[in-house]
Structure 1
């Protein structure tokens, strides 16, 4: 399953001198989309941390830039869990302009406790993540 696309408008501040979205901003768009995807399945990260001490930690990102995005483009970021482990998950994310792919990424995320060590996802969290 995939969360509803997260839409983002490209602002002038997102671009470089050539008017192209600066490469690091793709990661910001994807981060926002992951947060909203979690929210869409009932996971409030602030509440999760307060109640369980669990947080998500990105451990690896492999991104492929396919086409440039420009000022005022309306982009959609798709997010889907491609692998769900006991203390980690892998997400596939893509940024597109309409049907045209702009960038794709594989994002590996660790589930960690307040001590910074790997933590097993509680049943409710696993259930929610499986809906992505």
Structure 2
């Protein structure tokens, strides 16, 4: 299943050359991940309150393929690559008109409030497969 998240490039997202500043792609894919997990029916606030577990990014492997510009309409596609007991690997692509501009493999881990690794709750593992 692919989750789709639409966004528009604002002036504040660009650099002096008028293209999206490279670090902002990480913000775009973070927003898309938040909406993806919400679309699965996972309440991250409740997960923290009830289970004492939060998500953290462990690794990002990114490729910048083509620039996005001010006022472009973009779409972030998020797909699950792998799920283990304590981590989720996602492929996220930022596209304009179906063309990949930025692609990343993102590893998300579950951690306890103490910062120690934790297992993903079973209901979440089942939803993200």
With normalisation by structure 1, the TM-score equals: 0.95
- State the Cα distance separating 1:70 from its structure 2 match: 0.2
- State the Cα distance separating 1:48 from its structure 2 match: 1.0
CA distance in 2 between partners of 1:110 and 1:124 (Å):
15
Aligned to 1:42: 41
**5+ unaligned residues in a row in structure 1: which ranges?**
none
CA distance in 1 between partners of 2:78 and 2:49 (Å):
25
Moved over 2 A (4+): none
**5+ unaligned residues in a row in structure 2: which ranges?**
none
Q: Deviations over 1:49-88 (max 9, x none)?
A: 1111111110110110000000000000011110101011
Give the alignment of 1:5-44 within 5 angstroms.
Answer: 5-44=4-43
Give the aligned length.
Answer: 129
More strand by share: 2
